[in-house]
Amino acid sequence: MKELVFPGDKVADTPQRIPGCYVEDGQTFASNVALRSDDHIVQLKGYYVPKTGDDIIGIVEEERFSGYNLALNSPYGSSLSARDTRDELKLGDAVYCKILAVNEVKEAVLIEPQKLPTGSMLAIDSVKVPRVIGRNGSMLDTLSKFTGSHITIGKNGIVHVEGGNTSLALKAVEKICRESHTSGLTERITQMLENESRANGGQGEQNG
Nearer Cβ to another protein (182/207): 182
Query: 3-class SS at 135?
Result: helix
> Is 142 a residue that touches another protein (CB under 8 A)?
no
Q: Contact between 49 and another protein (CB under 8 A)?
A: yes
The β-bridge partners of 95 are 58, 115
Closest CB to another protein among 145 and 181? 181
Is residue 178 part of the contact set for another protein (CB under 8 A)?
A: yes
For residues 70 and 95, the answer to whether their CB atoms sit within 8 Å is yes
Residue 36's contacts (CB-CB under 8 Å, 6 or more residues apart) are 2, 3, 4, 5, 11
Neighbour count for residue 103 (Cβ, 10 Å): 11
Applying CB under 8 A, does 186 fall inside the site for another protein?
no
Distance CA 165, CA 148 (A): 6
- If one asks whether residue 137 binds another protein (CB under 8 A), the answer comes out as no
- Strand 108-115 and strand 94-102: the pairing is antiparallel
Strands 108-115 and 77-81: parallel
Binding segment (CB under 8 A) for another protein, from list 41-49, 62-70, 128-136, 154-162:
41-49
- Judged by CB under 8 A, does residue 145 bind another protein? no
Residue closer to another protein by CB (options 29, 208) is: 29
The residues that touch another protein, with contacts defined as CB under 8 A, are 4, 6-8, 20, 22, 24, 29, 31-33, 43-47, 49, 75-76, 104-106, 125, 127, 175, 178-179, 181-182, 188, 191-192, 195-196
